[in-house]
């Protein structure tokens, strides 16, 4: 393995000191005098037709500047199916949906006015689950889905593979996988199991709630400040939706206070644009309360999954048939790409010749869904990995041995029929073998501590290929300071994942500098930086990293060219290090960067070289369209893999449990920043355990979300987490920066299944629903006659 | 953020406070007594509380009393839950206070605020019910000392314009054995599924519960069943469960069946602990 100087080192994040000392400014920390404030009026019902929206009383509140209702702007938007009104008109389709907004001198005034608006509703029957949505006689969330436009970028291209809502139903889209022959697969199987798994929608719960400022200048320029993962897509969307020249739209993103997929969806910005327009272009701020961030803004998707698996008696998997009903909520938006991605990687990292999957994105009267860390894999893995354990149990095989036996290898194909090799596939076998040691697997999966207390271990595997659409890329620009140090301009958004710091490490490594001599701008400004596809899909380091590395090469080329003239040494005999260009064979023949980065002029006026500006761009090659029926196609460059385990201590009387230990072994390709990678995986593991054991919306019978505050929607707190152990193996990827694999999401994906496998063993019942609350475990045991 | 403005008053005597209330009330300002202010903040931002004037009782000396003399414990209503716990003046009460909310909230929530809360749990009342405490209440017509059993029925029954000044507990309760357990849905910080507090006086056990029904209570009927002799612990618990005084609630934290399941286990732990059996 290659040895690096800076790559792999635990370089502290550039923004750490400001973060831990409270000096970092997020959107809502900036206060510009004269900003007006917007508040949304949101729906009290999950499905109702809107009668009169009476704003008379609201207008009487002093300080109200403007009130906008859905009727004023009957506009449909969406990045997949254009099905979502900016503000609801005619009817509301989820609890918390925006209906109107008040723009006022202060937020308090706006809130006061909003609570004075009277809306008359006629309540309609609700679609309260994806299963109900799938029934023939279900009420329709959208009556005329065939009349909606499909976004051009999303239709018929790439990972989206076309979008096909089914008229007269609640099916927003159906993505298939057809590999091999499913009937033959089951015919060859000695054992078949079929199980159902489910969980409700939930929330990302980023600390920073979503917030956007918009101002329209007299020149027509639209200035947006927002917490978002996708500044460039936002720019396009605003330009397209409101018919504004794209060059006139500027998006600024400072540091983002956590996102986890939440901030890939553009929701507040178009509303704020309309609000600003309504008050003559003045700067307005629209910020979510926690309740709005949970129910009004898009959420983590829910799922009802049927998993059927066939296996020979010696433990070789033959067939898997999956039927996913995703709870995409009221609007299609990004629930469609999530449900498609779940199909593409549906099997998990196992070699299965016969695969059949139908992944349906269902409309319901729930909040609409967007990306969530894991992007469909966390969701699919819960059912598939539980079923793997159920099957191993049926065969009487050790679940770890069973996984090893079926682990996918180079030479196998993915569910999307891509031939796998050592580069595009991580080594799941090696991960499992290391996991086995780290969790002391051989000391027993189940150990009785006392009459009441039992300790158990559960495992799970997961894999993920990032699936950006074809044709996406990134760009980077390098400039120099007069002392020869380097500045990076890259529009990757820092959402807490440490991307910016890793980019500085790459430049430092490649230019043989100290990482302290490389600087990077934290804020993104779409007018200043080259285009960068959204910061998502664990693809940012891959794309931005490649762009930055190319910019470094370009800068080095320029530096050498200038130095060659001055030193009178051919370019190919020169090397760079420590802010110098020197002759390889006699390093004392050298010139400092500081003398040449802004150009060099000889005493006679002859110019040796001009200012050095490094330029690098990158586009991911090889990604193709995906067939909507068979799923055949190349969805991304590589599959990262992870093996995970969770040990719990279960109280058989109370049905309560403690999380003792959680272990992950991931194939990092190459670790770029050790502590950064470790904490990314650890944070994701924590998120997965929280999701699996506590989270999940509760709805009432009318489809209203009951858990819109942190006093009702619980996430894991410090002191409740287990001991975390994270290890990496390194099988580099060709074409990736330093061979690294995506890592930001993998830590979450196997956690729900691992903890459910562990608790199922402890409680002696099969747990097939999330969250795994003590009450749910008690009820499951009660039904099974395990307790009385 | 609170979407309304209000006047803020901080009187330094009981008289000043009650007179202020009367005046502000006559002016139509819908005054509210404020102590820690957490509930005004949390309910106010949801438009569930509205006022044009708050009267902060934290500046009133009697509300800040913290004494043990003449065999009587006096705790002012303006003490925060953290202060009550840290003072160790009445462990029975302190241990109930420290189970409410999280540390940050307890640094703000006051004893009086918890007892007068609109949120149904009011767990600080459990030890006060068990110890037959006395509530000191001030109103325009003077200061009254009232038995907890008269003034706290499901909730604190204050007349308009009255506020809670102090609670008084007989000093003998400072060192009687008690058991308290708060069971939550799955977190360390949450409202209770149930909180039970039991106190042993001589050989009999007293029982108060929050979270089980829509209000906190002490149940003599349940106590009677629990104190029966000659039958097993489980039988005593079975009989006590039949005497729950009101419907058991079902909500996002747990169904009524589950709450009863948790209650049985917790009662068993309480009896084992206090009776020193098994």
Q: What is the ipTM of this complex?
A: 0.96
- pLDDT band, very low/low/confident/very high, at A200 (cuts 50, 70, 90): very high
Per the DSSP assignment, residues forming a β-bridge with A68 are A101
Looking at the predicted structure, is the pLDDT value of residue A785 above 50? yes
Q: What is the mean pLDDT of chain B?
A: 96
Strands B72-76 and B163-170: antiparallel
Give me A548's structure tokens.
């930055």
Express each pLDDT in A662-674 by its tens digit.
999 999 999 999 9
pLDDT at B36: 96
pLDDT at A151: 85
Q: In chain A, which among 82-121 make CB contacts under 8 A with chain B?
A: 107-108, 111-112, 115
Q: What is the mean pLDDT of chain A?
A: 96
Give me A285's structure tokens.
């701020």
Q: What percent of chain A has pLDDT over 90?
A: 94
pLDDT at A378: 97
Express each pLDDT in A387-426 by its tens digit.
999 999 999 999 999 999 999 999 999 999 999 999 999 9
pLDDT at A1: 57
Looking at the predicted structure, is the pLDDT value of residue A161 above 60? no
The stretch A266-278 carries a mean pLDDT of 98
- pLDDT band, very low/low/confident/very high, at A157 (cuts 50, 70, 90): very low
Q: Which residues of A touch B194 (CB under 8 A)?
A: none
State the nearest Cα–Cα gap between B122 and chain A, in angstroms: 16
Looking at the predicted structure, is the pLDDT value of residue A152 above 80? no
Q: Which residues of B touch A711 (CB under 8 A)?
A: 190-191
Helix (H) or strand (E) segment spanning residue B206: strand B204-210
pLDDT at B1: 81
Q: Is A511 strand, coil or helix?
A: helix
Express each pLDDT in A340-356 by its tens digit.
999 999 999 999 999 99
Q: What percent of chain A has pLDDT over 70?
A: 98
The stretch A677-692 carries a mean pLDDT of 98
pLDDT at A154: 65
Any idea which of A533-542, A758-767, B172-181 has the lowest mean pLDDT? A533-542
- pLDDT band, very low/low/confident/very high, at A292 (cuts 50, 70, 90): very high
Looking at the predicted structure, is the pLDDT value of residue B141 above 70? yes
**Residue A723, Cβ density class (10 Å: 0-12 exposed, 13-18 middle, ≥19 buried):** exposed
Express each pLDDT in A548-568 by its tens digit.
999 999 999 999 999 999 999
The stretch A169-197 carries a mean pLDDT of 98
Question: For A698, which of B186, B187, B252 is closest by C-beta distance?
Answer: B252
* Separation between Cα atoms, residue A83 and residue A68, nearest integer Å: 20
Beta-sheet strand order (sheet of A574-577): A574-577, A580-583, A590-592
Q: Which of A416, A437, A773 is nearest to A630 (CA)?
A: A416
**Residue A12, Cβ density class (10 Å: 0-12 exposed, 13-18 middle, ≥19 buried):** middle
- pLDDT band, very low/low/confident/very high, at A612 (cuts 50, 70, 90): very high
Residue A379's CB: how many other CB atoms inside 10 A?
29
**Residue A621, Cβ density class (10 Å: 0-12 exposed, 13-18 middle, ≥19 buried):** exposed
pLDDT at B2: 87
pTM metric for this prediction: 0.96
The stretch A644-656 carries a mean pLDDT of 98
- Asked if the C-beta of A706 comes within 8 angstroms of chain B's C-beta atoms, the answer is yes
Looking at the predicted structure, is the pLDDT value of residue A58 above 90? yes
Q: Which of B175, B174, B151 is nearest to B163 (CA)?
A: B151
Q: Which of A417, A183, A416, A410 is nearest to A319 (CA)?
A: A183
| CA distances (Å), origin A275, targets A86, A115, A290, B3 | 11, 18, 21, 20
Express each pLDDT in B223-265 by its tens digit.
999 999 899 999 999 999 999 999 999 999 999 999 999 999 9
Close Cβ partners of A599 (under 8 Å, ≥ 6 residues apart):
A562, A607, A608, A609, A610, A611
Question: For B258, which of A714, A717, A775 is closest by C-beta distance?
Answer: A775
Looking at the predicted structure, is the pLDDT value of residue A237 above 80? yes
pLDDT at A160: 47
Residue recorded with tokens 């925060």: B80
- pLDDT band, very low/low/confident/very high, at A159 (cuts 50, 70, 90): very low
* Separation between Cα atoms, residue A98 and residue A44, nearest integer Å: 10
- pLDDT band, very low/low/confident/very high, at A539 (cuts 50, 70, 90): confident
Q: Which residues of A touch B265 (CB under 8 A)?
A: 653-654
pLDDT at A788: 66
pLDDT at A674: 97
Looking at the predicted structure, is the pLDDT value of residue B37 above 70? yes
Q: What are residue A633's phi and psi, to 5 degrees?
A: 150, 175
First to last CA, chain A: 58
Residue A73's CB: how many other CB atoms inside 10 A?
17
Give the best residue of B1, B3, B45, B118 to mutate against chain A (max A CB count within 10 A): B3
* Separation between Cα atoms, residue A153 and residue A236, nearest integer Å: 11
Alpha helical stretches, state H, A733-786? 746-749, 751-763, 774-783
Distance of CA A285 to the CA centre of its chain: 26
HEC profile of A606-643: CEEEEECCEEEEEECCCCCCCCCCCCCCCCCCCEEEEE
């Amino acid at each position: 393995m290659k040895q690096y100087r800076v790559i792999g080192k635990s370089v502290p994040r550039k923004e750490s000191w400001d973060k831990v000392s409270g000096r970092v400014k997020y959107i809502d920390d900036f206060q510009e005098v004269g900003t007006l404030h917007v508040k949304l009026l949101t729906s009290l019902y999950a499905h109702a037709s809107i009668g009169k929206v009476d704003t008379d009383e609201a207008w009487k509140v002093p300080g109200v500047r403007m009130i906008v209702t859905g009727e004023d702007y009957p506009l449909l938007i969406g990045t997949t199916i254009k099905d979502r009104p900016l503000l609801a008109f005619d009817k509301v389709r989820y609890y918390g949906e925006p209906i109107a907004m008040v723009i006022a001198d202060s937020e308090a005034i706006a809130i006061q006015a909003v609570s004075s608006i009277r809306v008359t509703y006629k309540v309609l029957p609700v679609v309260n689950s994806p299963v109900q949505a799938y029934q023939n006689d279900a009420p329709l969330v959208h009556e005329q889905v065939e009349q909606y436009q499909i976004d051009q970028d999303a239709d018929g291209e790439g990972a989206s593979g076309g979008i096909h809502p089914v008229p007269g139903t609640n099916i927003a889209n159906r993505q298939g996988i057809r590999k091999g022959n499913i009937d033959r697969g089951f015919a060859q199987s000695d054992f078949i199991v079929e199980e159902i798994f489910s969980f409700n929608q939930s929330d990302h719960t980023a600390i920073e709630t979503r917030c956007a400022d918009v101002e329209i200048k007299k020149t027509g320029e639209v200035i947006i400040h927002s917490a978002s993962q996708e500044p460039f897509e936002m720019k396009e969307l605003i330009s397209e939706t409101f018919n504004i020249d794209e060059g006139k739209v500027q998006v600024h993103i400072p540091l983002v206070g956590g996102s986890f997929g939440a901030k890939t969806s553009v929701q507040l910005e178009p509303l704020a644009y309309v609000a600003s327009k309504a008050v003559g272009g003045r700067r307005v701020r629209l910020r979510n309360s926690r309740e709005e961030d949970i129910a009004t803004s898009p959420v983590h998707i829910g799922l009802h999954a049927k998993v059927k698996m066939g296996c020979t008696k010696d433990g070789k998997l033959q067939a898997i048939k999956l039927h996913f009903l995703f709870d995409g909520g009221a609007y299609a938006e990004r629930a469609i790409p999530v449900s498609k991605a779940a199909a593409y990687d549906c099997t998990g990292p196992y070699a299965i010749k016969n695969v059949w999957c139908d992944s349906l994105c269902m409309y319901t009267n729930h909040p609409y869904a967007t990306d969530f860390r894991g992007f469909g894999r966390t969701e699919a893995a819960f059912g598939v990995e539980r079923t793997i354990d159920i099957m191993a149990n049926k065969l009487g095989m050790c679940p770890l041995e069973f996984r090893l036996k079926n682990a996918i290898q180079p030479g196998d194909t993915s569910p999307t029929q891509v031939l796998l090799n050592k580069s595009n596939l991580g080594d799941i076998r090696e991960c499992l073998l290391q996991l086995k040691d780290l969790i002391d697997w051989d000391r027993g999966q189940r150990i009785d501590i006392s009459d009441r207390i039992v300790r158990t271990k559960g495992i799970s595997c997961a894999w993920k290929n990032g699936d950006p659409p074809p044709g996406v890329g990134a760009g980077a620009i390098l400039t120099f300071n007069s002392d020869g140090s380097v500045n990076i301009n890259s529009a990757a958004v820092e959402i807490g994942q440490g991307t910016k710091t890793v980019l500085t490490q790459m430049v430092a490594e490649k230019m043989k500098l100290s990482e302290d001599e490389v600087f990077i701008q934290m804020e993104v400004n779409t007018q200043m930086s080259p285009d960068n596809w959204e910061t998502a899909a664990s693809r940012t380091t891959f794309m931005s990293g490649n762009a930055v590395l190319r910019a470094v090469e370009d800068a080095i080329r320029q530096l050498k060219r200038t130095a060659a003239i001055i030193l009178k040494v051919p370019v190919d005999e020169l090397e760079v290090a420590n802010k110098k260009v020197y002759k390889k064979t006699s390093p004392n023949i050298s010139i400092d960067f500081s003398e040449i980065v802004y150009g060099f002029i000889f005493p006679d006026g002859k110019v040796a070289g001009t200012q050095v500006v490094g330029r690098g761009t990158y586009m991911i090659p090889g990604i193709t369209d995906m067939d909507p029926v068979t799923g055949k196609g190349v969805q991304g460059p590589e599959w990262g893999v992870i093996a995970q385990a969770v040990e719990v201590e279960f109280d058989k009387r109370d049905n309560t449990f403690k999380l003792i230990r959680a272990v992950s072994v991931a194939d990092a390709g190459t670790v770029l920043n050790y502590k950064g990678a470790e904490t990314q995986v650890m944070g994701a593991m924590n998120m997965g355990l929280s999701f699996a054991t506590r989270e999940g919306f509760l709805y009432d019978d009318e489809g209203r979300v009951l858990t819109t505050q942190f006093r009702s929607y619980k996430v894991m707190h410090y002191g409740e987490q287990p001991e975390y152990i994270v290890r990496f193996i390194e099988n580099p990827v060709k074409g990736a920066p330093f061979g690294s694999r995506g890592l930001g999401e993998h830590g979450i994906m196997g956690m729900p299944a691992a903890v459910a496998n562990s608790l199922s063993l402890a409680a002696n019942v099969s747990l097939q629903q999330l969250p795994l609350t003590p009450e749910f475990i008690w009820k499951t045991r009660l039904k099974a006659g395990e307790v009385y | 953020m609170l979407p309304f403005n209000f006047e803020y008053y901080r009187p330094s005597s009981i008289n000043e406070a009650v007179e202020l209330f009367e005046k502000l009330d006559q002016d139509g300002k819908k005054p509210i007594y404020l102590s820690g202010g957490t509930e005004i903040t949390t309910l106010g931002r949801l438009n569930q509380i509205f006022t044009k004037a708050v009267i902060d009782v934290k500046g009133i000396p009697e509300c800040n009393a913290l004494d043990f003399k003449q065999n009587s414990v006096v705790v002012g209503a303006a003490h925060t839950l953290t202060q009550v716990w840290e003072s160790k003046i009445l462990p029975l009460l302190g241990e109930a206070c420290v189970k409410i909310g999280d540390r940050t909230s307890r640094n703000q929530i006051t004893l009086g605020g918890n007892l007068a809360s609109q949120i149904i749990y009011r767990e600080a009342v459990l030890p006060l019910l068990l110890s037959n405490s006395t509530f000191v209440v001030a109103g325009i017509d003077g200061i009254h000392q009232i038995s907890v059993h008269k003034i706290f029925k499901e909730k604190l029954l204050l007349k308009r314009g009255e506020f809670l000044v102090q609670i008084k507990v007989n000093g003998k309760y400072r060192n009687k054995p008690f058991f308290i357990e708060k069971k939550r849905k799955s977190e360390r910080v949450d409202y209770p599924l149930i909180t039970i507090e039991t106190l042993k006086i001589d050989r009999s056990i007293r029982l108060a519960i929050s979270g089980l029904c829509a209000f906190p209570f002490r149940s003599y009927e349940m106590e009677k069943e629990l104190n029966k002799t000659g039958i097993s612990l489980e039988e005593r618990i079975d009989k006590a469960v039949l005497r729950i005084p009101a419907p058991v609630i079902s909500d996002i934290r747990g169904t009524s069946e589950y709450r009863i399941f948790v209650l049985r286990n917790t009662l068993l732990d309480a009896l084992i602990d206090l009776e020193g059996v098994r």
